[in-house]
Structure 1
């Protein structure tokens, strides 16, 4: 029996504000919720202007804390994704899969695990040994290289993963990334000892995503 591979459209948004990318996600989510079919599944790729985002497992962030972070030159958003506070900015490859899990497997746990395995597989292509831990995301030792935080409504996914490529890591010094005390963050550039821009990581991430999700990518 031939198994039909799901089609996933790749959309490159370039460098975009978090607010604008959120609107694009919401448009694609609405298309899914208004349709009974398995399409269009979409993979939104972008970099953000500096922004701190907080997920639904939020620790208290009083107005003065929000203002402190904004004073650094970053936006601040409270979101409906899983997880705690993190940072996105230039040099950060952000991937928002807006998928109907009915086209894959109707399991949120499975989906998150596949995202983690996708990033681990991509890291292997760079010669980096990465792994998961009890804390969501992908790690190199005790340092997180990729944060994962998703939302799922009626098996339609949104938000996704953020991979540190050649990010200015000093932005993370202003927060406790993902609320995890005693652990740090790292990047492809830091691990490899050379500059690794997002453009170098994109094809490897897409290749790993294709294999892990057994899908066919469609480019604009």
Structure 2
């Protein structure tokens, strides 16, 4: 029987609000796992899988092992530009979130799929590789660098199209990926993206030469997520009312 993943589009939402929601859902799942352990052998935890989509107002986020010096502007400059800066508990270094970027936050109990964080990250990358492949783009992996790239093995040509950073607690995931669709890439000039000096950032719009419908790209992500994770994707309205959407 396929696992069900509840899909919710949160719309445009502040980064901290989305982070708080992820923490809430993660805690619900880890509490359910603790309750099952307390019941004894054979008890099945009543965990629920979620895939949250959203778009954030302009924000730079730094991973827990990231380097603050990869932010190249001052607090005063950030305030003048109307950009937030948030230190997070995900993996990875610094990245940007903003308009026309698809941010996906899977909150998944990996023990109901496979207890392997490396495999999980490779599967997330595969979702994006197949998605951008639908638009004629050849996404690849770069050895030792999580995310999806174009021409990672070509000196001077390597460019990142999708950043990834996750957290996992008791095999429940949070945080996720950010795919640049029609994203304003000038925001990346204020940081050393992902702490990598010699590789640039790109978007689907820049690579295809056309503005893409974000809703269509999001639907392709859901399709490939279902296929790669062998899951049933269920459209949810769980958070629409409480988020005013």
- TM-score category, normalised to shorter length: over 0.9
What are the Cα deviations for residues 49-98 of structure 1, in whole angstroms up to 9, with x where unaligned? 00000001211349x74443343211110001111000000111000000
Q: Is the 8 Å Cα contact of residues 139 and 150 (structure 2) preserved in structure 1?
A: yes
**Segments of 4+ moved more than 4 angstroms:** none
Alignment of 1:63-82 (within 5 A): 65-82=74-91
Higher alpha-carbon Rg: 2
Shift of 1:140: 1.1
Structure 1 residues 210 and 149 mapped into 2: Cα distance closer, same or farther (>3 Å)? same
> Displacement of 1:194 after TM fit?
0.3
Pair 1:60 & 2:68 matched: yes
1:31 to 20, 28, 32: 28
Alpha-carbon displacement from aligned partner over 1:154-195 (angstroms, at most 9, x marks no partner): 101000000000011100011111010111011111111000
Give 1:115 deviation, angstroms.
Answer: 0.4
Q: Using the alignment, how far apart are the partners of 2:66 and 2:203 within structure 1? A: 24
- Aligned length in residues: 217
Aligned twin of 1:156: 172
Q: Does residue 1:124 correspond to 2:121, yes or no?
A: no
Structure 1: give runs of 5+ residues left out of the alignment.
Answer: none
Indicate the larger mover: 161-170 or 52-61. Answer: 52-61
Normalising by the residue count of structure 1, what TM-score does the alignment of the two structures yield? 0.94
2:231 equivalent among 191, 210, 215: 215
CA distance in 2, matches of 1:124, 1:60: 34
44, 47, 54: which is aligned to 2:52?
44
- In the TM superposition, what is the alpha-carbon distance from 1:5 to its structure 2 partner? 1.2
Alpha-carbon RMSD across the aligned residues, in angstroms, is: 1.6
- Find 1:20's aligned residue among 12, 17, 22: 17
Counterpart of 1:137 (choices 113, 137, 147) is: 147
Name the SS for the 1:132 alignment partner.
strand
Task: State which of 6, 10, 18 in structure 2 corresponds to 1:9.
Answer: 6
Hey, what's the Cα distance between the residues in 2 that align with 1:178 and 1:214?
A: 30
